Amino acid sequence: MHPMLNTAIKAARRAGSIINRAALDIDRLKIARKGPADYVTEIDKAAEEAIISVLQEAYPDHSFLGEESGALGQSEYQWIIDPIDGTTNFLHGFPMYAVSIALSVRGVITQGVIYDPLKNDLFTATRGAGAFLNERRLRVSAQTRMEDALIGSGFPYSSMDNQERYLRMLAVVMRESAGIRRPGSAALDLAYVAAGRYDGFWELGLKPWDMAAGVLLIQEAGGLVTDLEGEQRYLETGHVVAATPKIFSQLLSLVTKA
């Protein structure tokens, strides 16, 4: 295993233990509202600080992009961190949230970890070395038919344009697929595509920390990921379509025509 991945796993597990302790006593958390349906708790902050301190100790020269702390430092090596992807779920005790950590080297994602602290599920990937769930090799599903495909998604909150466009996409994909799931953690949704639990996924208006680790997992598990233009600019545009190869082109054409 790559030493940088090992360090990221250590950081994710440390954050996971903070989250699991807090989950036992959610009512006592201090919660602030960042925007519509966008919450931050002291646990998001504590988990992010724990992640950064583990990584900084090992790699003092690296830089960071965290959901809570923003951009820290300048380096070709940037760790992209979401301490709790699915904070709204976490606050309601809905068991679908995860820690996401990725390493970008000169703009290319090379390491990814998504850790589900409730199930103790550890999804990991190193560029060129495959994707794994708890050390078991992951492959995307072998699904070929859109009408048999289970598709993951997420509702956009930030922009009205995205919402109207998304609802058109939703109507089309709902008609053409076996079903749509929307559990509320994009990082885990992407990990589920890599694990073959979904056959595809799309969402609009995501942030880099929602996607960075999950995208690498899917690519290393044999899946395809692009933005709505079929390009690799999803970290900039925030729009992402991901799927097993045979479903990918079908899903992309459905959402882009909607």
In this structure, the answer to whether residues 239 and 164 fall within a common structural domain is yes
Tell me which residue of 158, 213, 221, 208 sits closest to 188, measured CA to CA: 213
pLDDT (0 to 100) of residue 38: 76
pLDDT of residue 37: 67
Q: How far apart are CA 157 and CA 230, in angstroms?
A: 23
The torsion angles phi and psi of 107, rounded to 5 degrees, stand at 85, 0
| 111 plus 189 within the same structural domain | no
Instruction: Say yes or no: 86 and 207 in one domain.
Output: no
Nearest to 188 by CA among 204, 201, 178: 201
Token reading at 83: 């301490």
Q: Give, as one character, the DSSP assignment of residue 158.
A: S
Q: What CATH number is associated with residue 9?
A: 3.30.540.10
In this structure, are residues 141 and 194 in contact, taking their beta carbons and an 8 Å threshold? no
Q: How many CA atoms lie within 13 A of 110 on its CB side?
A: 16
> Which one of 137, 157, 182 terminates a domain?
137
If one counts the domains in the chain, the total is 2
Query: Position 96: which residue type?
Result: M
Do 111 and 178 sit in the same domain of this protein?
no
Number of Cα atoms under 13 Å in the Cβ half of residue 119: 15
Alpha-carbon distance values, 103 to 43, 108, 112, 142, 160 (Å):
22, 8, 7, 29, 32
For residue 230, give its domain range. Answer: 146-257
Q: Which residues are catalytic?
A: 67, 82, 84-85, 87, 210
In tens digits, the chain (258 residues) has pLDDT values of 899 999 999 999 999 999 999 999 888 888 888 777 677 889 999 999 999 999 999 999 999 999 999 999 999 999 999 999 999 999 999 999 999 999 999 999 999 999 999 999 999 999 999 999 998 999 999 999 999 999 999 998 877 778 899 999 999 999 999 999 999 999 999 999 999 999 999 999 999 999 999 999 999 999 999 999 999 999 999 999 999 999 999 999 999 998
The reply to whether 178 and 247 lie within a common domain is yes
- Please report which helix (H) or strand (E) contains residue 223, including its range: none
- 222 and 121 within one domain: no
Pair (7, 78) in one structural domain: yes
Domain stops at, among 93, 111, 137: 137
In a shared domain, residues 204 and 91: no
CA distance linking residue 30 with residue 26, whole number of Å: 9
Looking at residue 27, what is its pLDDT? 83
CA 116 to chain centre: 11
**Which of 95, 117, 137 is at the close of a domain?**
137
Domain identity same for 160 and 43: no
List the CATH number of the domain containing 202: 3.40.190.80
Cβ–Cβ < 8 Å for 132, 220: no
Q: CA torsion sign, 223 to 226 to 231 to 236?
A: negative
For residues 68 and 141, what is the distance between their CA atoms, to the nearest angstrom? 34
Specify whether 100 is located in the same domain as 190: no
User: Do both 38 and 130 map to the same domain?
Assistant: yes
151 and 133 within one domain: no
CA dihedral of 217, 114, 14, 18, whole degrees rounded to 10: 170
Contact 66, 209 (CB under 8 A): yes
